[in-house]
Amino acid sequence: MMNKNLVRQFEKIAGAGNVMGEEADRHAYAYDSAVLDSVVPALVVRPDTIEQLGRIVALCNENGTPLTVRGSGTNLSGGTIPTGTDAVVVVTNGLARILEINPQDLYAVVEPGVITAQFAAAAAEQGLFYPPDPGSQAVSTLGGNVAENAGGLRGLKYGVTKDYVMGMEFFDVNGEIVKSGSRTVKCATGFNLSDLMVGSEGLLGVFARIILKLIPPPKASRAMTAVFASVEQASEAVAAIIADRIVPCTLEFLDNFTIRTVEDFRHAGLPVDAEALLLIEVDGHPAEVSEDAEKIQEICRKNGAVQVRAAKNEAEKELIWQARRDALPALARLKPTTVLEDATVPRSRIPDMVKKIKEIGRIYNLDIGTFGHAGDGNLHPTILTDRRDHKEFARVEKAIDDIFDAALAMGGTLSGEHGIGLAKRKYMEKETSKGTILYSRKLKQTFDPKNILNPGKMIGD
């Protein structure tokens, strides 16, 4: 609980109806989608306006009260779990206005609580395309996407959230508005602070308005599947496709465990004996699309695919992507707890990584399904477990350590898209350096001398 006087001040800013102090309410803001312990905050505030948001930040700073911004609370790294029971959680889903969509100049301005898929749909209504499509897009907020630098299925060709942030306004700890970037394609005014905010996980500033880039949508697309008897062959096919200078918009991979699980779940006729299944989509100009699709099928065959199929119509295409969408839900049903990791390796190391993950699963006697973005090396080893089984969960934690070690040894990274938060902060130094941590801490200290913005996350204290 928080002292009454301070609560009253929050109420004055945001209105009593937007301040939640009752214990049961606070319990609902103690977790996110990461498999970590909950921490119940002292207060939850849900502002209606950006102006309120700024005043809330300032009030927290004046009182030295730690503040964790929360969008939809779907991040997988503990970024919105309050650092301590004295923290205020500030929910942004009341700040969900799309302020502008500009079809002439190809940009949009949004508040941070706009839901990703709703924004993409609004852009599509104007004939425009917002490519970043995290699996959580139906619920995630754009603010959360920016703060985690969220990726998605289209990362290979279209990039990730950071490639679409043209600029933003954010609050510093004093509640002052900081502006960076612009509505123009070119902008060389001042430090590039909005890039610094991308992936900042709520540690450096609180986003108020974000300027996002939009692009014209592709005119045509074609989806296909290729079945392989070994992960190596699938991986060689991927390398060959890219060596042929074709960049598919999506290039997804399912391992045998995942294929079998999805098939058990949907009975869509997936090849349960296959070691690897590639799901591929190309888009662009119709002529280019059909040429690329032909070439890809040929390359897959040459690299040992036992079966290659192209979707003949929308319905068949839908079926292909249904299989990919089913991967996580189908796996999640096998056991109560699903630990979804996102260790990422250079594309060419996928076979080694898949092999290594299998081995780790064997060593610790765990079920691990692996699927993910073959095109960019971003794999999702998904460990199926039961958190209540403490012995098994201890093995899970060891397995995760090993997975990260393996990814780093292959020149990869801890996180392709889920961020560091609490979950991976202990590995940070391993991937970077001691100097990196110290530099980052100094940076934070400068921006946030009282250490109130999501303290303890990512770089520790």
Partner 1 sequence: MADIGKLVRLLKELEEDLASCTRCGMCQAVCPLYGQTGRETDVARGKLVLVENLSREILDDPQAVKKRLDRCLLCGSCAAACPGGVPVLEVFLKARAVITGYLGLSPVKRAIFRGFLSNPDRLDNLLKWMGRLQGPFTRSANKILGTSCARFMSPVIGDRHFMPIAAAAWHTKASRGFSGPRQDGRIRVVFYPGCLADKILPRLADAAMEVFAFHDVDVFVADKAPCCGIPALSSGDVKTFSTLVKKNLNIWQPLDFDYLVTPCATCTSTIVKLWPAMEDYLWDKSRKTKEQVRKIAAKTMDISAFFVDILGVEALPDAGPETVTYHDPCHLKKSLGVEKQPRSLLGAAGTCRLIEMKNADQCCGMGGSFNLEHYELSEKIGAKKRDAILATGADTIATGCPACMLQITDLLSHAKSRVTVQHPIEIYARSLREKQKEKPK
Ligand X SMILES: Cc1cc2nc3c(=O)[nH]c(=O)nc-3n(C[C@H](O)[C@H](O)[C@H](O)COP(=O)(O)OP(=O)(O)OC[C@H]3O[C@@H](n4cnc5c(N)ncnc54)[C@H](O)[C@@H]3O)c2cc1C
Interface residue list for partner 1 (CB under 8 A): 20, 22-25, 27-33, 38, 46, 72-74, 91, 93-94, 115, 117, 136, 138-139, 328-329, 332-333, 336-338, 386-388
Residue sitting closest to ligand X (CB):
144
Among candidates 101, 103, 314, 100, which has minimal Cα distance to 216? 103
> Which of residues 161 and 303 has its CB atom nearest to ligand X in the complex?
161
Q: By the 8 A CB rule, do 417 and 376 touch?
A: no
Among candidates 206, 203, 208, which has minimal Cα distance to 450? 203
Going from the C-alpha of 335 to that of each of 61, 358, 417, the distances in angstroms are: 42, 18, 24
| Distance in angstroms (rounded) separating the CA atoms of residues 211 and 164 | 8
Q: Which partner from the list partner 1, ligand X, none does 144 bind, CB cut-off 5 to 8 Å by kind?
A: ligand X
Q: Which partner from the list ligand X, partner 1, none does 336 bind, CB cut-off 5 to 8 Å by kind?
A: partner 1
CB of 94 to ligand X, least distance (A): 12
Residue from 147, 277, 289, 293 touching ligand X (CB under 6 A): that is: 147
CB of 240 to partner 1, least distance (A): 34
Among candidates 453, 461, 460, 443, which has minimal Cα distance to 201? 453
Q: By the 8 A CB rule, do 95 and 18 touch?
A: no
> Which of residues 306 and 443 has its CB atom nearest to ligand X in the complex?
443
Run of H or E including 171 = strand 165-171
Query: Taking the C-alpha atoms of 191, 195, 200 and 202 in order, what is their torsion angle to the nearest 10 degrees?
Result: 80
CB of 43 to partner 1, least distance (A): 14
Question: For the residues of 64-102, what is the DSSP string, one character each?
Answer: T--EEEESSS--SSSTTS-SSTTPEEEE-TT---EEEEE
Contacts with ligand X by CB under 6 A: the residue count is 36
CB of 46 to partner 1, least distance (A): 7
Residue from 41, 135, 351, 412 touching ligand X (CB under 6 A): that is: 135
| Distance in angstroms (rounded) separating the CA atoms of residues 409 and 423 | 20
Beta-carbon-side half-sphere exposure of residue 152 (alpha carbons within 13 Å): 24
453: its two tokens = 């913005």
CB of 404 to partner 1, least distance (A): 21
> Which of residues 324 and 349 has its CB atom nearest to ligand X in the complex?
324
Residues 276-335 that bind ligand X (CB under 6 A): 328
> Which of residues 65 and 93 has its CB atom nearest to partner 1 in the complex?
93
452: its two tokens = 């109130």
Q: Which partner from the list ligand X, partner 1, none does 418 bind, CB cut-off 5 to 8 Å by kind?
A: ligand X
Is residue 21 close enough to count as binding ligand X by CB under 6 A? no
Is residue 376 close enough to count as binding ligand X by CB under 6 A? no
> Which of residues 18 and 454 has its CB atom nearest to ligand X in the complex?
454
Is residue 151 close enough to count as binding ligand X by CB under 6 A? yes
Give the burial string for 317-332 (b: 16+ CB within 10 Å, else e).
beebbebbebbbebbb
| Distance in angstroms (rounded) separating the CA atoms of residues 224 and 45 | 47
What is the spatial order of strands in the sheet that 276-284 belongs to? 307-310, 220-228, 276-284, 250-255, 367-373, 378-385, 337-340
Q: Which residue has the tokens 């119940």?
A: 40
> Which of residues 23 and 314 has its CB atom nearest to partner 1 in the complex?
23
Residue from 152, 181, 372, 455 touching ligand X (CB under 6 A): that is: 152
Is residue 375 close enough to count as binding ligand X by CB under 6 A? no
Is residue 377 close enough to count as binding ligand X by CB under 6 A? no
> Which of residues 232 and 252 has its CB atom nearest to ligand X in the complex?
252
> Which of residues 267 and 388 has its CB atom nearest to partner 1 in the complex?
388
Binding string to ligand X for residues 201 to 240, with x set by CB under 6 A, is what? xx---xx---------------------------------
Can you state the angle between helices 231-243 and 350-363, rounded to 10 degrees? Answer: 160
> Which of residues 20 and 406 has its CB atom nearest to partner 1 in the complex?
20
Beta-carbon-side half-sphere exposure of residue 115 (alpha carbons within 13 Å): 13
Q: Which partner from the list partner 1, ligand X, none does 206 bind, CB cut-off 5 to 8 Å by kind?
A: ligand X
21: its two tokens = 């102090």
Residue from 42, 57, 69, 282 touching ligand X (CB under 6 A): that is: 69
Is residue 30 close enough to count as binding ligand X by CB under 6 A? no
Is residue 148 close enough to count as binding ligand X by CB under 6 A? yes
Binding site for ligand X (CB under 6 A): 32-33, 68-76, 79-80, 92, 112, 134-136, 140-141, 143-145, 147-148, 150-152, 201-202, 206-207, 328, 417-418, 454
